[in-house]
């Protein structure tokens, strides 16, 4: 954990985020909390991380996400040398997506 960001305020922020139960609730919180640009930048970084995890090229990622090579490189560095936060989130969402799609019944 990065001690530069660790504080009572950030602990409480993360508690607030974790209290959201639906995507719609997350939209409500983040629209109040962040600017549109900040939300889009965070979403772009997650998309870049997911594509890097799938071994997409920088060119593919830049074309699909509009991210600069500097942003792609920064996210890649975090994937390699970071705290594995991106990987944890990607793996959990992929696992949930796989589980959810495997549990769907075919309706005729």
Domain 36-86 = CATH 1.10.1270.10 = yes
| Cα 45 from Cα 68, distance rounded (Å) | 11
pLDDT at 1: 65
pLDDT at 57: 98
One pLDDT digit (tens) per residue for the chain, 108 residues = 678 889 999 999 999 999 999 999 999 999 999 999 999 999 999 999 999 999 999 999 999 999 999 999 999 999 999 999 999 999 999 998 887 776 655 443
pLDDT at 108: 37
pLDDT at 106: 45
| Cα 39 from Cα 107, distance rounded (Å) | 36
pLDDT at 51: 98
Are 53 and 90 a contacting pair, CB within 8 Å? yes
pLDDT at 103: 61
Domain ranges of the chain: 1-33, 36-86
């Amino acid at each position: 954990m990065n001690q530069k960001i660790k504080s009572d305020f950030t602990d409480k922020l993360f508690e607030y985020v974790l209290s959201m139960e639906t995507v719609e609730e997350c939209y409500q919180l983040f629209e109040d909390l962040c600017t549109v640009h900040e939300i889009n930048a965070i979403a772009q970084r997650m998309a870049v991380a997911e594509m890097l995890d799938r071994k997409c090229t920088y060119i593919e990622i830049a074309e699909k996400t509009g991210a600069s090579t500097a942003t792609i490189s920064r996210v890649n560095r975090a994937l390699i040398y970071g705290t594995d936060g991106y990987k944890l989130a990607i793996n959990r969402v992929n696992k949930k997506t796989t589980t959810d799609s495997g549990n769907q019944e075919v309706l005729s």
